[in-house]
Amino acid sequence: MYRAPLSDIRFVLEDLLDTSALSGMPGLEDYSSELATAVLEEAARFAEDVLDPLNQTGDREGARWTPDGVVMPAGFKDAYEKFVEGGWPQLGADPEYGGQPVPIVLGTAVQELWASANLSFKLCPMLTAAAVEALELRGTPEQKRLFLPKMVSGEWTGTMNLTEPQAGSDLALVRMRAVPDGSHYRLFGQKIFITYGDHDYTENIIHMVLARIDGAPPGVRGISLFLVPKVLVNDDGSLGARNDVRCTSIEHKLGIHASPTCVMTYGEREGAIGYLIGEPNRGLEYMFIMMNAARLSVGVEGYALAERAFQRAAEWARNRLQGRPPGAKSEGPVPIVQHPDVRRMLLTMKSGAEAMRALALYAAYQFDLARHHPDERTRAAAQARGELLIPIVKGFCTENGVRLASLGIQVHGGMGYVEETGAAQHLRDVRITTIYEGTTGIQSNDLVGRKIGRDRGAAMGALIEEMRRELESLPVGDGEGRAVVNASLEAVERLEAATRAQLAALGECPERAYAVAVPYLELCGTAICGWLMAKAYARAAEGIAGGDAQQEFHRAKLRTAQFFAQHTLPNALALARVVEQGASSVIDTDAALI
């Protein structure tokens, strides 16, 4: 049974990030810590009472394709209706179209709850929110008037249509055609892997589709973005005729069985009517508006599933009686949580989830500062840092989400490998997150080529300097806390050296930099998480010293921060060595020898 980790989330929001500073900033005049608490508590109830009970049943039943459309598993449509009634799709959207303005960091924290409780369900509103953001920024006034209010309310949902059978992640190969026809276009072609491309939640689905206008330049320079509704919309906002687009099949997947992954066919007859978003041939630029929001959200999914896997594993370990650890005084079998290696695995999961939560919410907070802070220089610096962190959050949190979900099966032993315990579902579900919105290799290439290479390491250098300065000033004394800080400082130093090595490689032989881009991304995530966990240690120690009411909670924070420093941060040294010395074995190996 899932329990929303509200104390852990509030600890990050209030103690680590101090998001109360957002209150009163332009656009967030009504925001307060009390509002954040109320939103989180209501979201927790919905996650625990409505979404979690459908998680395993939805996995077993799955979404079902029929000639008349996709049918969702039992209970999912009712849950979506409750989701809409609760106003959840409106959270964070523009109030001009019915949204409720809240910080991105709060909306990100809420997404964790949806993802932990039921990832298959969570994917639909995530994609709708991404489509809404693109339409808000690049749609015409008429497009916004017709589509945004009902998308923001949740009455209609949205999708992203990028991939085609021959294209995969290489969008330069997109072939979907768009033929001008008066004030609109007619689209012809096929898209694959379209999450929630069809379902029975709503009467209409608004597809954001990449296509080429006839005569457009080749490659990514000739891609445009189109809005293609499942059902055409009349000028008064009412629904009209069915558009020439349909789901022709759904995929049979490793996990997220209750999330329909659709093959979408456009223009089987006269062509699917679509409306150009923004300017022609700038579709990839506009699609990245959606992809950046989705990449942060997918990173959240990685640690959210790690959190859920930890909860299940910890519950199992407290109740499973088996064996006696060395030195045990009691006779007979004991709960396996008393075995040292089981405790090690659980602490790995718990500290990892806490560290990734801090990383993702810290990144989300940067975008709030970039959007709302009154000082222009602060906004610019926060935007640069947020953009730097996006590929790290997406790649690091999903890769480690897979590792920790796998560890959850190990805690269960043989019972984790059978479906009845539910541990296997977490691993099956989280596995897609390392692929969604660009694989880890794509995220790493973005980090090295666009983020580090673009400004010659300026944004990363500023972050490294801030981490070092804060770590050196943390009030942790000379004992255990100092060891935590020193381990974090060592990781930051290794990150700094590895960044210099990457910059040198980019200037001399870029292939060398890309050959070790994934280890570099892992190093970034490890070092930044180490910094945040050291800060968590200091905040928890302050709470204990001040005699607050959360003594046990803060003692647990000391333990996870110490564990992270001793068991996870040493990986930074190995990763740094790979970054600095490991490129040759990759680029000097002929592909024929693999």
The percent of residues above 70 in pLDDT, for the chain, comes to 100
Report residue 371: phi and psi, to 5°.
-90, -35
Cα 383 from Cα 498, distance rounded (Å): 23
Q: Would you call 166 exposed, middle or buried from its count of C-beta atoms within 10 A (0-12, 13-18, 19+)?
A: exposed
Q: What does the pLDDT read at residue 44?
A: 98
SS3 249: strand
Element at 70 (helix H, strand E) = strand 69-71
101, 25 Cβ separation under 8 angstroms = no
Cα 427 from Cα 256, distance rounded (Å): 10
Cα 407 from Cα 342, distance rounded (Å): 10
CATH of 157-286 among 1.10.3720.10, 3.20.20.70, 2.40.110.20, 3.40.50.2300? 2.40.110.20
Extended strands (E) in 322-472: none
Q: Enter the tokens of residue 455.
A: 């400004």
The pTM of the whole model exceeds 0.75: yes
Place of tokens 């942790």: 476
Element at 190 (helix H, strand E) = strand 184-195
Is pLDDT above 90 for 579?
yes
Cα 119 from Cα 112, distance rounded (Å): 9
Q: With b meaning 16 or more CB within 10 Å and e meaning fewer, what string describes 562-594?
A: bbbbeebbeebeebbebbbeebeeeeeeeeeee
Is pLDDT above 90 for 167?
no
CA of 514: how far to CAs of 167, 502, 580, in Å?
22, 9, 12
Largest distance between two CA atoms of the chain: 83
Q: What does the pLDDT read at residue 291?
A: 82
SS3 455: coil
Question: pLDDT per residue over 47-104, tens digit each?
Answer: 999 999 999 999 999 999 999 999 999 999 999 999 999 999 999 999 999 999 999 9
Q: What does the pLDDT read at residue 174?
A: 87
Q: What is the mean pLDDT of the chain?
A: 96
Question: pLDDT per residue over 421-476, tens digit each?
Answer: 999 999 999 999 999 999 999 999 999 999 999 999 999 999 999 999 999 999 99
Residue 434 is classified by DSSP as G
Q: What mean pLDDT do residues 244-271 have?
A: 98
Is pLDDT above 90 for 259?
yes
Cα 366 from Cα 384, distance rounded (Å): 9
pLDDT band at 14 (very low <50, low <70, confident <90, very high): very high
161, 208 Cβ separation under 8 angstroms = yes
Is pLDDT above 80 for 302?
yes
**C-alpha angle 2/305/168, rounded to 5°?**
145
Place of tokens 């929110």: 129
Cα 260 from Cα 127, distance rounded (Å): 13
Q: With b meaning 16 or more CB within 10 Å and e meaning fewer, what string describes 470-480?
A: bbeebebeeee
Question: pLDDT per residue over 342-384, tens digit each?
Answer: 999 999 999 999 999 999 999 999 999 999 999 999 999 999 9
Beta strand 205-213 with 177-181 is: parallel
CB atoms within 10 A of CB 181: 12
Question: pLDDT per residue over 17-42, tens digit each?
Answer: 999 999 999 999 999 999 999 999 99
SS3 288: helix
Beta strand 64-66 with 69-71 is: antiparallel
Q: What mean pLDDT do residues 148-162 have?
A: 97
Q: What does the pLDDT read at residue 171?
A: 74
303, 244 Cβ separation under 8 angstroms = no
Is pLDDT above 80 for 330?
no
CATH placement of domain 6-139? 1.10.540.10
CA of 592: how far to CAs of 43, 588, 589, in Å?
53, 12, 8
pLDDT band at 388 (very low <50, low <70, confident <90, very high): very high
Q: What does the pLDDT read at residue 287?
A: 84
* Residues annotated as part of the active site: 437
Is pLDDT above 80 for 257?
yes
Q: Would you call 404 exposed, middle or buried from its count of C-beta atoms within 10 A (0-12, 13-18, 19+)?
A: buried
SS3 320: coil
Question: pLDDT per residue over 173-201, tens digit each?
Answer: 889 999 999 999 999 999 999 999 999 99
460, 419 Cβ separation under 8 angstroms = no
Q: What mean pLDDT do residues 227-255 have?
A: 97
